[in-house]
């Protein structure tokens, strides 16, 4: 399977009204629930429930293929999931390009690189005014209050994202002058030093009148274990293991605790008394334009992209799980 290809799947989405979410984060701060399970590969609900029949079948189209474009199931080198032929060894080693987040803060002309920080560091900045924005670049002035009043042009945070194609970058609604909440955590110790971490989760929430919108406009996650939950305010997004993916790979030696290869992930977005479930998807899949049935706002649609989910063949290499939530309009 091509690591950057977005496949089209007949996915169904379920709105569970009146069902309280499993995560109740403290308002305001981006939090990460501890990962407690990295080996459960059953295809049931990895968060502890049972899979509920879904209704509706939105057809993913963004950057994706139709069923006719799927790999030939008889082609063992295609790396796809078609036809029930089993995972392919032809795509190994499976190591798709991933996300990267560079963060810097410039105060009175002095720039500090915040791309790596001591593990467990977190920022929750409720009043940030957009100075400049693009699909992979954002400049934010820090403000005196949560309604973006009294912004300081000499105290600027800069975000630079590396997002492999065809996955979505920053949404166009983050225009200059927009007021945002920036929430981030540094828990990704993939750099080799267990005391120094890269950004593991990032959330950008638009604000109006000093109040957060119900759902972040952009969230990303980078980590080495599942289940994983990122939460900001009353909104949370959970990724849970849903079984082996379309690609299986050999172990480099007789040392692997789990079979190397790709993994499928199931997502649940939750807020207040509603939650939306996305059935399991494979790395490279994009689920576009699923309705986030937020009370009093019928026009929010989310796109979830599973950038990476795999167990490496190397004995000492950690698992890798990365995804994006992109919300419009």
Model confidence at 300: pLDDT above 80: no
Kindly report, residue by residue over 114-128, the tens digit of the pLDDT.
999 999 999 999 999
DSSP lists the bridge partners of residue 324 as: 220, 305
Model confidence at 85: pLDDT above 90: no
Report the pLDDT value the prediction gives residue 275, as an integer from 0 to 100: 86
Model confidence at 34: pLDDT above 60: no
Report the pLDDT value the prediction gives residue 301, as an integer from 0 to 100: 84
Residues 44-56 have a mean pLDDT of: 36
Residue 156 or residue 328, greater confidence: 156
As a whole-number percent, the residues of the chain with pLDDT over 70 amount to 71
Report the pLDDT value the prediction gives residue 93, as an integer from 0 to 100: 87
As a whole-number percent, the residues of the chain with pLDDT over 90 amount to 56
Residue 40 or residue 304, greater confidence: 304
Model confidence at 157: pLDDT above 70: yes
The mean pLDDT of the chain is 78
Q: Tell me, letter by letter, the H, E, C secondary structure of the chain.
A: CCCCCCCCCCCCEEECCCCCCCCCCCCCCCEEECCCCCCCCCCCCCCCCCCCCCECCCCCCCCCCCHHHCCCCCCCCCCCCHHHCCCECCCCCCCCCCCEEEEEEEECCEEEECCEEECCEEEEEEEEEEEEEECCEEEEEECCCCCCCCCEEEEEEEEEEECCCCCCCCCCCCCCCCEEEEEEEECECCCCCCCEEECCEEEEEEEECCEECCCCCEEEEEECCCCEEEEECCEEEEEEEEEEEEEECCCCCCCCCCCCEEEEEEEEEEECCEEEEEEEECCCCEEEEEECCECCECCCEEEEEEEEEEECCCCCCCCEEEEEEEEEC
Model confidence at 76: pLDDT above 60: no
CA-closest candidate to residue 318, choices 185, 186, 223: 223
Report the pLDDT value the prediction gives residue 134, as an integer from 0 to 100: 94
Domain ranges of the chain: 14-70+87-328
Q: Which of 52-66, 155-169, 186-200 has the lowest mean pLDDT?
A: 52-66
Report the pLDDT value the prediction gives residue 294, as an integer from 0 to 100: 59
The two structure tokens encoding residue 179? 């007021």
- pTM value? 0.76
Residues 59-75 have a mean pLDDT of: 35
Model confidence at 295: pLDDT above 90: no
Residues 60 and 72: beta-carbon distance below 8 Å: no
Model confidence at 227: pLDDT above 70: yes
Kindly report, residue by residue over 163-213, the tens digit of the pLDDT.
998 899 999 889 999 999 999 999 999 888 889 999 999 999 999 989 999
Report the pLDDT value the prediction gives residue 296, as an integer from 0 to 100: 59
Kindly report, residue by residue over 260-288, the tens digit of the pLDDT.
999 999 999 998 878 889 999 999 999 98
* Per-residue confidence band for 232, with pLDDT thresholds at 50, 70 and 90: very high
């Amino acid at each position: 399977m091509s690591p950057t290809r977005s496949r089209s799947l007949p996915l169904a989405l379920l709105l569970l009204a009146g069902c309280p979410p499993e995560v109740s984060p403290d308002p305001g701060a981006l939090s990460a629930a501890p990962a407690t399970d990295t080996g459960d590969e059953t295809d049931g609900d990895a968060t502890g429930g049972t899979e509920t029949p879904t209704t509706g079948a939105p057809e993913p189209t963004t950057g994706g293929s139709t069923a006719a474009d799927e790999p030939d199931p008889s082609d063992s080198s295609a790396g796809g999931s078609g036809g029930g032929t089993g995972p392919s060894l032809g795509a190994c080693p499976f190591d798709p390009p991933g996300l990267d987040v560079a963060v810097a803060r410039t105060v009175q002309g002095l720039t500090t690189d915040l791309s790596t920080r001591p593990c467990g560091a977190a920022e929750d900045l409720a009043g940030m005014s957009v100075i400049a924005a693009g699909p992979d670049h954002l400049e934010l002035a820090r403000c005196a209050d949560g309604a973006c009043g009294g912004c300081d042009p000499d105290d600027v945070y800069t975000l630079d994202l590396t997002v492999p194609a065809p996955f979505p970058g920053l949404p166009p609604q983050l225009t200059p002058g927009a007021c945002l909440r920036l929430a981030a955590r540094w828990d990704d110790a993939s750099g080799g030093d267990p005391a120094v971490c890269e950004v593991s989760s990032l959330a950008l929430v638009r604000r109006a009148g000093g109040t957060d919108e119900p759902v972040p406009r952009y969230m990303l996650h980078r980590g080495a274990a599942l289940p994983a939950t990122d939460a900001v305010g009353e909104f949370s997004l959970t990724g849970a293991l849903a079984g082996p993916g379309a690609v299986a790979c050999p172990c480099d030696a007789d040392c692997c605790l789990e079979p190397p290869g790709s993994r499928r992930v199931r997502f649940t977005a939750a807020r207040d008394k509603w939650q939306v479930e996305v059935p399991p998807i494979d790395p490279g899949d994009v689920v576009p334009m699923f309705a986030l049935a937020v009370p009093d706002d019928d026009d929010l649609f989310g796109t979830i992209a599973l950038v990476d989910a795999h167990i490496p063949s190397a004995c000492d290499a950690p698992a890798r799980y990365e995804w994006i939530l992109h919300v419009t309009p």
